Structure 1
Amino acid sequence: MLEKLLGSVCGKTREEPKTEERKIRGTVLLMKKNVMEMTDVGASFLDRVHEIVGKGVTLQLISASHADPANGSRGKLGKEAYLEHWVTKFTSLSAKDDAMFNITFDWDESMGVPGAFIIRNHHHSQFYLKKVTLEDVPGHGQLQFVCNSWVYPAHRYKNDRVFFAYKTYLPCNTPEPLRAYREDELTNLRGDGSGTLKEWDRVYDYALYNDLGSPEKGQEYARPVLGDSKEFPYPRRGRTGREPNEKDPNSESQLPLLNLNIYVPRDERFSHVKFLDFIGYSFKSLGQVLIPEIEAVFDETINEFDDFQDVHKLYEGGIKLPDGHALKNTRECLPWESFKNLLHLDGGRPLQFPTPDIIKNDRTAWRTDEEFGREMLAGVNPVIIRRLQEFPPASKLDPKVYGNQNSSMTGDQIEKNMNGLTVEEAIADNKLFILDYHDVLIPYLRRINTTTTKTYASRTVLLLQDNGTLKPLAIELSREQPDENVHDPISQVFTPSEHGIENSKWQLAKAYAAVNDSGYHQLISHWLNTHAVIEPFVIATNRRLSVLHPIYKLLQPHYRDTMNINALARHTLINAGGILERTVFPARYAMEMSATIYKNWNFAEQALPEDLIKRGVAVIDPSQRHGLRLLIEDYPFAVDGLEIWSAIKDWVNDYCSIYYDKDDMIQDDKELQSWWMELREEGHGDLKDEPWWPKMQTKYELVQTCTIIIWVASALHAAVNFGQYPYAGYLPNRPTVSRRFMPEPDTPEHAELEKDPDLSFLKTITAQFQTLLGVSLIEILSQHSTEEIYLGQRDTSEWPSDKEKEAFARFSTKLVKIENEIIERNNDQRLRNRVGPVNMPYTLLYPNTSDYSKKGGLTVKGIPNSISI
């Protein structure tokens, strides 16, 4: 009875159909806000009231066949239809429950097939529209609209929300009645470049990195603007439109620390499940929210690990901290009692982390030279090592500015460990390799070392042995002169030794090199070369490519959550005084240094084959698979990576070939050309004049470009991100800070190194508090969400046509084959770099398309489609 009564009330707004009209029935799949946001207790009630008074949710079909001259030749509109039974359909509070509503349209058959619809939400609250399915459309049959978008109340929008049928059209092939709607939608997404953006705005726009500093807190927290500068070029970020900082009009004002509601377009924000996962992981670990409280604890206790057993207590039993009431100066704004049980921070329970993989099977194998070399090929930063083609290594820094920065290494120092080879023979046989951080650090070293950091710029030379492993030969540590007017560095060379004080110094030298590698990894390999460089592609794609465009559909899955995680990073991680500055050695100069390194970023060289060739670890060889011959045959990242790269490129080529028969179709594609021009001139505008940008005139250039984007957003990010906790969760293996220089003879530090080398080692690397904070951070970053979508998977089963579906099926099948091949390689005992002395198989490029990938957490495997954490 209630359902009949309510139906008649809502039906008053509809007219009876004429005899020539036909009813089209459909279903609408959505998720209500009261399901997603349990804090908004009034949403459900108010929405039901709105329904009763005739303010429901309406859809209005748009013809793809017939234009309305009176409406700018846009497609003719059908009559509005209401979602049925909103009031009587109750949904559970499970965040995973969708609501299915029926809808019935009156449609004049003479208007042909609908190609889009307008939706108006007259409710109090927003909902997430997933899909609309029309049955028995005259002349077509079933018609799908895959929406996946938040729809806010209609009064929040300046223009109607329009969704298109799940079809794909090049701009020139778009049905004429839909073209204006297609163009209007892109105009809406670009916005007008003004005002503070609100959560319901759908604007994608560019901004400089001017939101990192907090100058109102004092000069210590001021940071330079990154971007639109020859000194500090940078990729663009998403605009929020927040007001300028009161102390510096060139900087954007900051939100309070606990306010995570940073503007990104609503459809780019984490889903409810992903957000809960992220918050759960963050609360489980230590975050910046607790820095003052944890510092208060360590102000009263020694801030050192006494020995390696003390470090192991982090994972085996934990470190007991004082009761919450014992903490001094606790900020009143922090709900300490609410957090401490969840975080295990009360005195009765220990602070304990999961055991990192690097020490699960052997506590000490990480200290071996073989493992030290192996991690350059199969660790968390396997993208830096290069072939050494001249000895001693030369510097590219301007000697007029920096003095003589060439290496001080000699042949005698390294040949004693080269298995009988000479330097000349090793170079000729492609046997010498180097991990070189000298030139990138020297310009900043003096400033870095004025902080609590005391570190070096390192060069590590290694020999490729017959068994495929890398043998460290020497580590050169260079530091600045005490006199600022003297530019030539103070350099020391350390070589392997198995006994006594020389062994202790060798272990320290490896730690200093690891500090360089850790900082460069986090700042450049991870943040800059994946997170930061991809964000302009996300923005440009949404501004210039319609959802109907084939390249939009190809790339969009690889942008999921990227803008959101980057916004959170700017808020709490890479900002002034943020977690990264507190835990990684460049400290306040970290982002500034990344901007100087961005000057040498080259889009074309982000392709894996080009990167391997540039670093000299591979040479072109048409007779080999992938057309390359690896000079280090057992190079897990490169071997697995080339398989993934080739699978991605084949998929992209198959997909693009469906839509582009000839190169002139690419040249004539107005949206594609507009996208590529804006990406170069605005998104990466500081490098717009570089000659290496593809011209986007041929299908080869399009395929290569899209392959690079997908590779960087998926496999490359997976390789440099999800191994962080497994390798660096045990910080002695990858320290992030060094606090004192190598001990000099006849000093107390040297005597301590002789007497207790382990204690000296721990006093040199990352301190206890920084370790807790750093390990907490990388535990969060290394987690997979329970709703992650991996390479070879999609969030919808629908496809515009069977051709795309078949091509993607081939792609997914290749990835399964690659998974099996990786397992076989990891089980091949001849490949010593696959597992190493720590007995840790290389699985970071295991695509993980299996069902158990849905478990999430620290899986140490799996390639998500996008940079989502």
Structure 2
Amino acid sequence: MVSYKITVKTGDKKGAGTDANVYIILHGKGIQTNKYTLDTFFKNDFERGNIDNYSVDSEVNIPEVQRIELWRDAYGLFSNWYLDWIEVTNLATNITSIFPAMKWIKENQRYFFNHIDTCLPQDDPFKEMRMVELQNIQRDYQLQVKVPGLPAQVKELPDDERFSFDYQFNIGLKGKIYQEESQRLVMASGVEWKDVDDVKSVYTPVFGVPEGSKTFNDDASFGRQRLNGLNPSILNLCTKIPESFGVTEIMVKPFLEGKTMKQAMDDKRLFIIDMAILEGCPTVGENIMTTPFALFYFNDAKCLMPIAIQLFQKKGPSNPVFLPSDPEYTWMWAKMWYTLADSTYHQALTHLNFTHLMMEGISVAAKRNLAPSHPIMKLLNPHFIYLMAINTLALGTLINPGGAIDKTSSAGINGHFYIIKKSMAFWRLDVNGTLPEDLKSRGVFDQSVLTGAYHMRDDALLLYDAIRTYVKKYVMHYYSTESSLTADYELQKWGAELVKSRDEGGVGILGVPNNGKFVATDQLVLTLTAIIYTCSVGHAAANFQQYDEYGAPFNYPYYLSGSPPKDKSPVTIETVLRSISNRIQLLGLMTVTKVLSEKGTQSLGDFEKQLIVDPPAIKFVEEFRQNLREIAKTIDERNKKRKHPYDELHPSAIPNAISI
């Protein structure tokens, strides 16, 4: 007679607990135990979030349990059950076997979980069972283009992708607190602003003071936004002034510290942003969207300074080039109208499309084609947690007709969708989604360019290299030969679905190496690194400063009314004040961005789903975590020397996934 200790962890999702009867059979090599009922007298087993322990005795001695067979009935009022994991210990040999599940257990359906359960499909001894499981998953995970021209998403949110109860409750509670405070402030002070100080009155202790409100009409802060703000990936090294940009040598001479424009270009100190993609962007009502050029100079004090702004693409008398020497509020207003385009680009592309939407299609395709026991699925899964859930929530509350974006932005959802559709023609995983290549394409990869100022780049490269090193070790462990890569039919099907056009039911991702046919490990490493980086570091850079930026309407306007300036006549602060969001609009935007700016899940490397249980792979995870700890120390040291510390990409501030 031998005793087994069985430990069961029920998930934390809403409705995860069950009153059903749960049965288990333990399997070894060619042997198995009888059926056991997991039940403790006078105890409510399998409650949400609980860990339950059971002891069973058997005549069958399995020194190391290799596999478990599990099922439940439909007994009780609440029979649904979400299982996180099961551990089985043979108390005679003291060997523990781990069986990750992370899924809903459906009634009267038998589930088989293997110890460690990590193998390529061609090596799986239970190929037929694996195939059946994947077919069941594919019924739940279907791709659909919900908005014509936009990325593919999950057709209906599967139960396994829903928020945990606590996570969803916390999001709702925070939103309610901010909404109640907003209502109080509007009731107390009305809708329209009295003066600039009145705008600051909304920064109560409930909301806090956004960082962007601490400077006002400051050119150095405006330059830092382009490097280390929410949208740090659109600045390009300037090697030529576009024909349609009316800036001249005489205009900018006072701002180049004695250099000509050519000398500034040769010294790699002149930079440009071109917002031509916003041409034709629809807006809400009579609002106007700018399509600006902005020129910047990196000065001797290591500050990126704006030196010229043209608000529309076609140069002409009614579209002047605005300069820092223009009347104070005229220059300020020109910067605000530039920033309207910047914030619209940020929200539509840098944040929504290039992280949330692109990664959702990739994650759905992964789950459709890679079995849960596939090592690549185990590698990616922690970086997909809550992604489909948050996108589904956003489609119903933020980016729906009449939702938050329609109420708080100049472009509205139609404008955002218009820009997203345009971007689908150029966004590539191997360029825009691969940090070093993105930096090279913009001429800013070399750290001798923008030295000491481009903190986002400098910190992000450390993290990209750490992720790539981790991924490479992991991939090389499971694909020791190129033939094992090409023989992996699940991986090849995933690659094919990634590049298959959306019209044909695929994800339609451009720039997947070798068009999705993985024949070399470096192709797979690049793809996986880009995905993990985007889901963690890329999203963190684009997301967690939202309240600090959008909460300050003079600093980062998302809405402006009236018309942009057509000449250099002096502008009054009253004109500027009338153009920004009113109190209701601003508080609505503050509420949304405050919730979005609060990190709700665990930090990079500290995985919510501990699916990697293969001992060699666990070693790679530990090495990754150690590397992140060293990066944290490096960033801490850098921030001690920085005049304006940059904390957004400290590893402790980066979640594993796009979960908010």
Q: Same fold by TM (over 0.5)?
A: yes
1:794, distance to aligned residue in structure 2 (A): 2.2
Q: Hey, what does 1:174 align to over in structure 2? A: 124
Aligned counterpart in structure 2 of residue 814 of structure 1, from 624, 627, 631: 627
1:130, distance to aligned residue in structure 2 (A): 2.4
Q: Hey, what does 2:7 align to over in structure 1? A: 28
Q: Hey, what does 1:553 align to over in structure 2? A: 378
* 1:308 is the counterpart of 2:162: no
Equivalents in 1 of 2:561, 2:317: separation in Å?
Answer: 19
1:581, distance to aligned residue in structure 2 (A): 2.0
1:266, distance to aligned residue in structure 2 (A): 1.6
Q: Hey, what does 2:322 align to over in structure 1? A: 494
Cα distance change of structure 1 residues 475 and 390 upon mapping to structure 2, 3 Å threshold? same
Equivalents in 1 of 2:317, 2:36: separation in Å?
Answer: 76
Aligned counterpart in structure 2 of residue 803 of structure 1, from 605, 616, 622: 616
Equivalents in 2 of 1:652, 1:105: separation in Å?
Answer: 42
Q: Hey, what does 1:603 align to over in structure 2? A: 429
What SS class does the counterpart of residue 534 from structure 1 fall into?
helix
Equivalents in 2 of 1:89, 1:562: separation in Å?
Answer: 35
Contact 1:205 1:539 in 2 (8 A): yes
Q: Aligned ranges for residues 183-198 of structure 1 at < 5 Å?
A: 183-191=131-139
Aligned counterpart in structure 1 of residue 235 of structure 2, from 369, 382, 385: 385
Q: Hey, what does 2:395 align to over in structure 1? A: 570
Q: TM-score, normalised by structure 2?
A: 0.91
Aligned counterpart in structure 2 of residue 713 of structure 1, from 500, 516, 535: 535
What SS class does the counterpart of residue 311 from structure 2 fall into?
strand
1:578, distance to aligned residue in structure 2 (A): 1.3
1:462, distance to aligned residue in structure 2 (A): 0.3
1:599, distance to aligned residue in structure 2 (A): 1.6
1:784, distance to aligned residue in structure 2 (A): 1.5
Contact 2:498 2:507 in 1 (8 A): no
Cα distance change of structure 1 residues 128 and 492 upon mapping to structure 2, 3 Å threshold? same
1:26, distance to aligned residue in structure 2 (A): 3.0
Cα distance change of structure 1 residues 688 and 569 upon mapping to structure 2, 3 Å threshold? closer
Deviation string 1:704-757 (CA, Å, 9 cap, x unpaired) is: 1111000000000001101111222222211101111235679xxx7xx65xx3
Deviation string 1:79-136 (CA, Å, 9 cap, x unpaired) is: 3221021x4124798x6x5141315375756999533423224333223322212222
Equivalents in 2 of 1:62, 1:110: separation in Å?
Answer: 8
Q: Aligned ranges for residues 54-203 of structure 1 at < 5 Å?
A: 56-61=21-26, 65-66=29-30, 79-85=34-40, 87-90=41-44, 98-102=50-54, 104=56, 106=58, 114-124=66-76, 125-136=79-90, 141-154=95-108, 159-175=109-125, 178-191=126-139, 203=140
Q: Hey, what does 1:16 align to over in structure 2? A: none
Q: Hey, what does 2:295 align to over in structure 1? A: 461
Q: Aligned ranges for residues 459-858 of structure 1 at < 5 Å?
A: 459-478=293-312, 490-497=318-325, 502-587=327-412, 588-605=414-431, 606-619=433-446, 630-681=449-500, 685=506, 687=508, 693=515, 695-743=517-565, 757-785=572-600, 788-795=601-608, 799-828=612-641, 831-832=642-643, 835=644, 841-848=645-652
Equivalents in 2 of 1:556, 1:689: separation in Å?
Answer: 22
> Which amino acid in the other structure matches residue 120 of structure 2?
L
> Which amino acid in the other structure matches residue 162 of structure 1?
F
Deviation string 1:480-522 (CA, Å, 9 cap, x unpaired) is: 8xxxxxx98952210002xxx7111000001011111111111
Greater displacement, 599-608 / 763-772:
763-772
- What count of residue pairs does the alignment treat as equivalent? 653
Equivalents in 2 of 1:88, 1:514: separation in Å?
Answer: 64
Q: Where do 5+ consecutive residues of structure 1 fail to align? A: 1-21, 51-55, 67-75, 192-202, 210-224, 227-231, 241-263, 318-351, 395-405, 481-486, 620-627, 836-840, 849-861
> Which amino acid in the other structure matches residue 606 of structure 2?
Q
Equivalents in 1 of 2:594, 2:632: separation in Å?
Answer: 25
Equivalents in 2 of 1:803, 1:453: separation in Å?
Answer: 58
Cα distance change of structure 1 residues 576 and 479 upon mapping to structure 2, 3 Å threshold? farther
1:377, distance to aligned residue in structure 2 (A): 0.7
Q: Hey, what does 1:443 align to over in structure 2? A: 280
Deviation string 1:400-443 (CA, Å, 9 cap, x unpaired) is: xxxxxx22222221222111111111112211101221x11113
Contact 1:694 1:705 in 2 (8 A): no
Equivalents in 1 of 2:167, 2:134: separation in Å?
Answer: 28
Deviation string 1:323-370 (CA, Å, 9 cap, x unpaired) is: xxxxxxxxxxxxxxxxxxxxxxxxxxxxx52111334xxx3x342100
> Which amino acid in the other structure matches residue 166 of structure 2?
V
> Which amino acid in the other structure matches residue 146 of structure 1?
P
Contact 2:499 2:516 in 1 (8 A): no
Cα distance change of structure 1 residues 462 and 110 upon mapping to structure 2, 3 Å threshold? closer
Equivalents in 2 of 1:798, 1:711: separation in Å?
Answer: 19
Deviation string 1:507-552 (CA, Å, 9 cap, x unpaired) is: 0001011111111111100000000000112111211111211111
Q: Hey, what does 1:422 align to over in structure 2? A: 260
Q: Where do 5+ consecutive residues of structure 2 fail to align? A: none
Aligned counterpart in structure 1 of residue 160 of structure 2, from 267, 283, 286: 267
Equivalents in 1 of 2:261, 2:382: separation in Å?
Answer: 49
Deviation string 1:839-866 (CA, Å, 9 cap, x unpaired) is: xx21000011xxxxxxxxxxxxx10000
Equivalents in 1 of 2:488, 2:92: separation in Å?
Answer: 32
> Which amino acid in the other structure matches residue 359 of structure 2?
I
Deviation string 1:440-467 (CA, Å, 9 cap, x unpaired) is: 11132xx43x723133211110011122
> Which amino acid in the other structure matches residue 113 of structure 2?
F
Higher gyration radius (CA)? 1
Contact 2:116 2:614 in 1 (8 A): no
Equivalents in 2 of 1:680, 1:106: separation in Å?
Answer: 52
Higher relative contact order (CA 8 A, sep 6+): 2
Equivalents in 2 of 1:651, 1:582: separation in Å?
Answer: 43
1:302, distance to aligned residue in structure 2 (A): 5.8
Contact 1:366 1:372 in 2 (8 A): no
Percent identical pairs in the alignment equals 27
1:380, distance to aligned residue in structure 2 (A): 1.6
1:601, distance to aligned residue in structure 2 (A): 1.0
Q: Hey, what does 1:413 align to over in structure 2? A: 251
What SS class does the counterpart of residue 279 from structure 2 fall into?
helix
Deviation string 1:358-387 (CA, Å, 9 cap, x unpaired) is: 34xxx3x34210010011111121111111
* 1:452 is the counterpart of 2:305: no
1:593, distance to aligned residue in structure 2 (A): 2.4
Contact 1:381 1:720 in 2 (8 A): yes
Contact 2:550 2:558 in 1 (8 A): no
Cα distance change of structure 1 residues 799 and 687 upon mapping to structure 2, 3 Å threshold? closer
Equivalents in 2 of 1:205, 1:139: separation in Å?
Answer: 44
Contact 2:291 2:311 in 1 (8 A): yes
1:697, distance to aligned residue in structure 2 (A): 1.1
What SS class does the counterpart of residue 365 from structure 2 fall into?
helix
Cα distance change of structure 1 residues 596 and 590 upon mapping to structure 2, 3 Å threshold? same
Cα distance change of structure 1 residues 702 and 137 upon mapping to structure 2, 3 Å threshold? farther
What SS class does the counterpart of residue 618 from structure 1 fall into?
coil
Q: Aligned ranges for residues 166-315 of structure 1 at < 5 Å?
A: 166-175=116-125, 178-191=126-139, 203-209=140-146, 225-226=147-148, 232=149, 234-240=150-156, 264-286=157-179, 303-315=191-203
> Which amino acid in the other structure matches residue 43 of structure 2?
K
Q: TM-score, normalised by structure 1?
A: 0.70
| Alignment RMSD | 3.1
1:574, distance to aligned residue in structure 2 (A): 0.8
Cα distance change of structure 1 residues 640 and 308 upon mapping to structure 2, 3 Å threshold? same
> Which amino acid in the other structure matches residue 8 of structure 2?
L
Cα distance change of structure 1 residues 153 and 502 upon mapping to structure 2, 3 Å threshold? same
Contact 2:479 2:521 in 1 (8 A): yes
Deviation string 1:590-617 (CA, Å, 9 cap, x unpaired) is: 2132112222111111111001001111
What SS class does the counterpart of residue 603 from structure 1 fall into?
coil
